[in-house]
Amino acid sequence: MNLQTEIVADILSRIPIKSIFHCKCVCKTWHDLLSEPYFVNLHLPRSPAGLIIHRSNYPQETDILKLVELDGESDHHNIHHNPLTRFDLGLGFNYDALLLCETVNGLICLWNYYGVAGYICNPITREYILIPDQKYDSPYAIVTCGFGYVEASDEYKVVRLYMHMKTGKSECKIYTLGTGVWRSLGHLPFPLISFQNGIYLNGNLHWLTTDPEGTPNEMVCTFDLEKELFLLTPAAPFVVGRDVKDRIRYLGTLGECLCICDSTADFELSIWVMKDYEMKEMWSKEIVIREPSLQYQNVRPLIFLESGCILMVCLDRFLFTYCPEYGTVQIIEDAPKKAFDARVYVPSFIRLGSFVLENVFVF
């Protein structure tokens, strides 16, 4: 690659994603340049975080992904839908809608709860990979999925956890993109208590669980994707004087920290933040939101906006912002009676064809 081409690549890597789409149509030279690994690696760390919204119109079997840009404002103008990045995947199954598992470096993991198959897709390159798996007796089982990246080895891994609620049979399986095969790590060293998919942060996947010794204490299971080892640490404490069952707790991230959203019967949503894995008093209650529409809801923080507000998603219901300064909640987008989820998404031009032994399809 000559100096002039490097300069062009450097300039193009700094412009908005929708402008890059147009640049690919300028000439064959630019089209080829924007597909080269050099440009892909140059663009990714400069790509601004946006949002990916997943809607599933089950039973019509239509799965929609929408890429959303954020401008950091606190009013309804802070979300900009780009018609060039709205995709009808058409990947649904007869059994159930697909679930949005996780996004990492522009790659999105979608999973069918019944264990039939999963997908890794990149909506920017319009490519996807089918990851087949065996079907499980899901009405009597808990099945969750996780997706993450190992920087040291430049590997992307899908992790699936399974536990039969009657027999207690459990299993952890791992699929590394490019290998074409699942590997089993054997039985889980802890009980699964939630259908929530794993939360990816800092090279690890996280799930909520209970103490395997039989105590009622809630724990956070951390799975090291590089070492492929499990670690249990205490979860955020329950509020004294309230019934443990009288709440919904959901794992997520806030900034660069793991968090637990605790939704109770008295319209109070508490967000506990884990500051450090190694600290004894690792959890602190950072935010308390009093809002009737959030009672008994699965809520996940998404991203801090430049205005100081926090963008969040109430699963299957709506996107909303919370302003800590004024204690106000504003609904941004709702989706009644539809499967609805959102994640922070950093667009990239990673080509799925770079993973050997994978069949790549185009949508």
| Tens digit of each residue's pLDDT (9 = 90 or more) over 294-330 | 888 889 999 998 888 999 999 888 999 999 988 999 9
String of DSSP letters for 54-103: EEE-TTS--EEEEEEEE---SSGGGEEEEEEEEEE-----SS--EEEEEE
% of the chain exceeding 90 in pLDDT: 44
Give the pLDDT of residue 158: 96
pLDDT at 165 over 70: yes
Work out the number of other CB atoms within 10 angstroms of the CB of residue 202: 15
pLDDT at position 175 is 96
Quick one: average pLDDT of 113-136? 82
Q: Say whether pLDDT at 242 is over 80.
A: no
**d(Cα 122, Cα 35) in Å, to the nearest integer?**
13
Domain with CATH 2.120.10.80 in the chain: 47-362
Position 58 pLDDT exceeds 60: no
Average pLDDT value for residue range 161-177: 90
In the chain, % of residues over pLDDT 70: 81
Nearest Cα residue to 113 out of 348, 341, 357: 341
C-alpha atoms less than 13 angstroms from C-alpha of 322 in its C-beta half-sphere: 24
What is the token pair recorded at 321? 């912002």
Confidence (pLDDT) at 191: 86
What is the spatial distance between Cα 197 and Cα 19, in angstroms, rounded to a whole number? 34
What's the topology of domain 47-362?
Neuraminidase (2.120.10)
Which residues have CB under 8 Å from 236's CB, separation 6+?
Answer: 218, 249, 260, 262, 272, 274, 283, 285
Burial of 216 (0-12, 13-18, 19+ CB in 10 A): exposed
- Are 320 and 331 within 8 A, CB to CB? yes
H or E stretch covering 38: helix 37-43
CA angle 160, 161, 166 (to 5 degrees): 145
What is the maximum alpha-carbon separation in the chain?
A: 68
**DSSP 8-state assignment for residue 186:** E
Of 158-162, 182-186, 316-320, minimum mean pLDDT range: 316-320
Report the C-alpha gap between 238 and 9 in whole angstroms: 52
Q: Which of 44, 75, 112 is nearest to 345 (CA)?
A: 44
The answer for residues whose C-beta is within 8 angstroms of residue 128's C-beta and 6 or more apart is 89, 91, 119, 120, 121, 122, 352, 360, 361, 362, 363
Q: b/e for 283-312, b at 16 or more Cβ within 10 A? A: beebbebebeebeebbbbbbbebeeebbbb
| Mean pLDDT, the chain, whole residue set | 84
Write out pLDDT tens, residues 68-99: 887 654 444 456 555 556 677 666 444 456 78
